[in-house]
Structure 1
Amino acid sequence: MRARQLGITLGLGTPGELNAITDVPGVRVGHSTLKEQIDGKQVRTGVTLIQPRAGTARLQPCFAGYHVLNGNGDATGLEWISEAGLLTTPLAITNTHSIGIVRDTLIALERDSLADPAVYWCMPVVMETYDGLLNDIWGQHIGPEHVLQAMANAESGPVQEGAVGGGTGMICHEFKGGIGSASRKLPAEQGGWTVGVLVQANHGKRQELRVDGYPVGRHLMEIASPFADRGTPGMGSIVVIIATDAPLLPHQCQRLAQRASIGIARTGGGTEDSSGDLFLAFATGNHDLPPADYGRKDLPLSTALNMVNNDHISPLFSAAAEAVEEAIINAILAGEDMTTADGVLVPGLDGQTLLEAMRQTGWR
């Protein structure tokens, strides 16, 4: 069950048809999920991959920007986005100790697709959150084949949520977390653009959880916490990817990425020292950016661009904040019970339990 199926509407905006990041035309999402025992170790991890356009990313770059709310996390490729403002590769999300192999595999895929790789280089964006309570993270079980599988599975339809892909072993507000998605479509008078969000939610304390502003976490404390005898509640991270078809320039993408902080705060997160809260936004609204193939001799000296005037950008900010808020709740609701290798339960939060907690707070 997703939030809206339970009658929970977050914010004032209207979701897209799928209420997912794939409502932004051209965006595709694929997962590769590992749920198995390997050499006696419990493996609960994976890779989630986002392709920003229908075509090859380097041939159809997007403007992009990022924001770090708290830096206890890692990502590759962000310095070039900061410098050039361009996203030229797919995005991938995985666990903390598998960033390297995912990055290297994406580079190899780029190399193998080029007629002359000597004249091109790439720095893929790969982000992470920590799944070490549920997954044998030190075993580094992600391999190139899992990146290839996520790439092959990438599609533009509904987005699988919960314990899939990179979100397989994640914990959110002391419940089973993982992948969540949502979107907002602006009315025609505000541009008619779509803002889509995907989160890998692995953060937050139970008692601070809020849904639509209601402090439901305080009414869920009787449910056993996986951190009772291990770790610290709130340890972990959240990655947020925001996509839009609005014509934004790189600095505007950065401003859009910053608004992820608001959605996280509305659900009761964003205050932990041990959390890596990293957000990236990309915009597909400029369709004619030069290919990021630096060996080409036919590139124009200049390119005509469009941009949303700042006087009209606020609805996009509101849409991003609302979609992040809803994506986090969707991630939690999609979670199902999972146990650690030593038998500690990480409980899923079912919809009826959430609704009862909300009624206790005065909701409806």
Structure 2
Amino acid sequence: MRARELPIALRGRPGPANAITDVPGVQVGYVTLTEGAARTGVTAILPRGRDGVGLPCAAGVYSLNGNGEMTGVTWIEESGALTLPVTITNTHAVGTVHRGVIDWVVAAHPALGAEWLLPVVAETWDGYLNDINGPHVRPEHAGQAIESAAGGPVAEGNVGGGTGMNCYGFKGGSGTASRQVEHAVDTYTVGAFVQANFGRRSELTVAGVPVGQELLDDNPMEEHARARAGAGSVIVVVATDAPLLPGQCKALARRVPMGLARTGTTGSHFSGDIFLAFSTANEGALGSGFAAGDDYETLRFVPWGRMDPFYTAVVEAVEEAVLNALTGAEESIGRDGHRSPALPLDRLTELLSR
């Protein structure tokens, strides 16, 4: 079930799939691993699809709290460009997935693989449900996630990198949403994808209602000695087809915490909260500068003074993406019998109705 199927007051106009894939060209793929003690996986987000790997997108990054990892961001900060798929997995599989993305690029795009590659791999911690130190994620899983990527509706909850993740003491994981924005005579889309693994149960807020205070029972993760309340991290990827400068993409990424805050979190010291935003417009610009051709590049962009509707879209889409991760997730029992209960939608509906 998705949040909009419940009596939740959500603002804004979503795209057809209400997903990051509403941005033309963006694709999402998963590998989900649930055999034995594994409750983990890999998520791949392709800004321009498989054929468009290597074509730069204007991009920017922002970290609310650095207790986490997203590789490749120093080059994005330097160049303002994202050229490779974005992958998300668990904390101890970052190196494995990094290697796997390189292997896939070398095989699928040999010319690109002949240059240096700095993949973007992000993580959140799933060690409560998943045997995080086990060799469950393999390099080929990164390639499989990329190969499975598609547009249209996106599965949510216990899938891909979100398989073993928890949010506000409930089963969390993967979630997405989108908003349409009018600018001049054009309609653009802003989409958000979250790997939600953060928040204390008591903080959970839905459409302004502090429901977490009424749902404090059945919270096995918070009772577990190794699981710090509020810890775990959240990765958010924001995509748009609106023409933006790299600095404007960074400005979108800086608005992500406002969407997260609407769901109640105050940001835990033990949560790595790292965000990436990119624009698929201006295709052909922001290249390496080594190719023969013109001596100058041109970027078309929304005026800075007209950015507010795009900021609003980010906040609304991120809030709904978190709720979709929660409402789309199912109860999970992982390693050593550790259990993560699903958000009780009947009780949530009753609280919101009250």
- Same fold flag (TM > 0.5): yes
Counterparts of 1:301 and 1:163, CA distance in 2: 48
Deviation digits for residues 71-127 of structure 1 (CA, Å, limit 9, x no counterpart): 100111000000000001000000000011111111122223345568511101000
- Number of the residue aligned with 1:70: 65
What is the CA distance between 1:64 and its match in structure 2?
Answer: 0.2
SS of residue in 2 equivalent to 1:31:
strand
Q: Normalization by structure 1: what TM-score?
A: 0.93
Deviation digits for residues 15-64 of structure 1 (CA, Å, limit 9, x no counterpart): 11100000000000000000011xxxx10000000000135444421000
Counterparts of 2:286 and 2:64, CA distance in 1: 31
Range that drifts further, 342-351 or 170-179: 342-351
- Number of the residue aligned with 2:294: 300
Counterparts of 2:234 and 2:313, CA distance in 1: 19
Task: Find the partner of 1:288 among 253, 277, 284.
Answer: 284
1:312-331 to 2 correspondences below 5 Å = 312-331=306-325
Gap runs ≥5 in structure 2: none
- In structure 2, the CA distance between the partners of 1:136 and 1:75, relative to structure 1 (3 Å rule), is same
Amino acid at match of 2:228: T
Counterparts of 2:234 and 2:329, CA distance in 1: 15
Task: Find the partner of 1:347 among 321, 328, 341.
Answer: 341
Say if 1:179 and 1:331, in contact at 8 Å, map to a contact too.
yes
Range that drifts further, 264-273 or 83-92: 264-273
- Number of the residue aligned with 1:18: 17
Q: Normalization by structure 2: what TM-score?
A: 0.95
Task: Find the partner of 1:266 among 262, 266, 288.
Answer: 262
What is the CA distance between 1:336 and its match in structure 2?
Answer: 0.9
Amino acid at match of 2:191: G
Counterparts of 1:100 and 1:32, CA distance in 2: 16
- Number of the residue aligned with 1:80: 75
- Number of the residue aligned with 1:52: 47
Task: Find the partner of 1:236 among 232, 242, 254.
Answer: 232
Task: Find the partner of 1:153 among 148, 153, 163.
Answer: 148
What is the CA distance between 1:189 and its match in structure 2?
Answer: 4.5
Range that drifts further, 339-348 or 72-81: 339-348
2:1 is the counterpart of 1:5 = no
SS of residue in 2 equivalent to 1:36:
coil
2:120 is the counterpart of 1:125 = yes
What is the CA distance between 1:139 and its match in structure 2?
Answer: 0.8
Say if 2:66 and 2:273, in contact at 8 Å, map to a contact too.
yes
Question: RMSD of the TM alignment (CA)?
Answer: 1.7
Say if 1:64 and 1:250, in contact at 8 Å, map to a contact too.
yes
- Number of the residue aligned with 1:309: 303
- In structure 2, the CA distance between the partners of 1:44 and 1:55, relative to structure 1 (3 Å rule), is closer
- In structure 2, the CA distance between the partners of 1:344 and 1:4, relative to structure 1 (3 Å rule), is same
Gap runs ≥5 in structure 1: none
Counterparts of 2:179 and 2:350, CA distance in 1: 27
What is the CA distance between 1:314 and its match in structure 2?
Answer: 0.4
Identity of aligned residues (%): 47
Say if 1:190 and 1:315, in contact at 8 Å, map to a contact too.
no
2:37 is the counterpart of 1:61 = no
- In structure 2, the CA distance between the partners of 1:167 and 1:114, relative to structure 1 (3 Å rule), is closer
- Number of the residue aligned with 2:158: 163
What is the CA distance between 1:290 and its match in structure 2?
Answer: 5.3
What is the CA distance between 1:176 and its match in structure 2?
Answer: 0.1
- In structure 2, the CA distance between the partners of 1:126 and 1:190, relative to structure 1 (3 Å rule), is farther
Number of aligned residues: 353
- Number of the residue aligned with 2:168: 173
Runs of 4+ in 1 over 4 A off after TM superposition: 114-119, 188-191
